[in-house]
Amino acid sequence: GYDATPFLPGRRAGLPGLRRAAAGCRGCPLYEDATQTVFGEGDTSARILLLGEQPGDQEDRQGRPFVGPAGKVLERALADAGIHPDGTYVTNAVKHFKFTVPEGRKRRIHKSPSLREMTACRPWLVAELQRVRPELVVALGSTAGKALLGPSFRVTEQRGALLPWPGLDDGGGDGSGGGRVDDGVRGLVATIHPSAVLRADDRDAAYKGLVSDLRVAAHALD
Ligand code: URA
Ligand code: SF4
């Protein structure tokens, strides 16, 4: 099956080593059409880790997470919620851009990653969590929530509350047989994806909902 584990460096590698290794990941077919791996970035001792879905068109070109339109929404919402971006680490559940190009068009249209691709890519996220050791994880949207809580996760039902941290398994890729990883995380807050604000009929209401969920995350660290 698809799996990033064979591409991971040893346990002692830090974030720079992980990033270098992730650049060569072929754990699932998504590397084939994408431009590059978009690894996480930010404060390496952040108290909050923000988890998106996967890089978009701009992120794929620039090699950095949340630098496109969704990133602009996120930046503003964090500021309005009182979360300083310097104290966060930002990454995605899936590290390569998945897209289609509709017949006769040039623009690349985002496609949601499959459960297999999410599962394949998860070792990178687990490795990032082990290095950053944030106190809180904020899941931005359905894919991020599912990557952490499983396929039964529903944003509409679980957003805006401090949820217990499920604990992630490292899959045993280091030969240990697998098991729950001690990553120090205390809780999880889920919200909508910032790009959902851009697609909403009532953008203002969607934006306010995003900010209000992010405030729950900010206060969880008070
Ligand atoms: N959407 C995401 O989920 N992640 C990004 O990095 C950009 C857009
Ligand atoms: Fe590897 Fe993840 Fe990219 Fe698939 S999406 S090739 S698992 S980094």
How would you classify residue 16: left for phi > 0, otherwise alpha for psi between -120 and 50, otherwise beta? alpha
**What's the whole-number mean pLDDT along residues 172-189?**
77
Say yes or no: CB of residue 70 within 6 Å of ligand 1.
yes
Total structural domains in the chain? 1
Closest by Cα among 84, 155, 169, 161 to 125:
169
What is the pLDDT confidence band of residue 183, given thresholds at 50, 70 and 90?
confident
pLDDT at 174 over 60: no
SS3 25: coil
Give distance in angstroms: CA of 94 to centre of ligand 2: 6
For position 176, what pLDDT does the model report?
60
For position 130, what pLDDT does the model report?
94
Write the pLDDT tens digit of every residue in 72-90.
999 999 999 999 999 999 9
Range of the domain at 18: 5-220
Q: CB atoms < 10 A from the CB of 164, how many?
A: 10
Say yes or no: CB of residue 160 within 6 Å of ligand 1.
no
What CATH number should be reported for the domain holding residue 24?
A: 3.40.470.10
Give distance in angstroms: CA of 218 to centre of ligand 2: 31
Amino acid at 49: L
Q: Please name which ligand lies nearest the alpha carbon of 63.
A: 1
Write the pLDDT tens digit of every residue in 138-167.
999 999 999 999 999 999 999 999 999 998
Range with lowest mean pLDDT among 114-123, 140-149, 180-189, 199-208: 180-189
What number is the ipTM of this complex?
Answer: 0.97
pLDDT at 40 over 70: yes
Q: Please name which ligand lies nearest the alpha carbon of 18.
A: 2
Please choose from 64, 142, 193, 199 the residue to mutate so as to test ligand 1's pocket, defined by most ligand atoms within 8 A of CB: 193
Residue 30 DSSP one-character state: G
Contact partners, residue 91, CB within 8 Å, separation at least 6:
39, 40, 41, 49, 50, 51, 52, 65, 125, 128
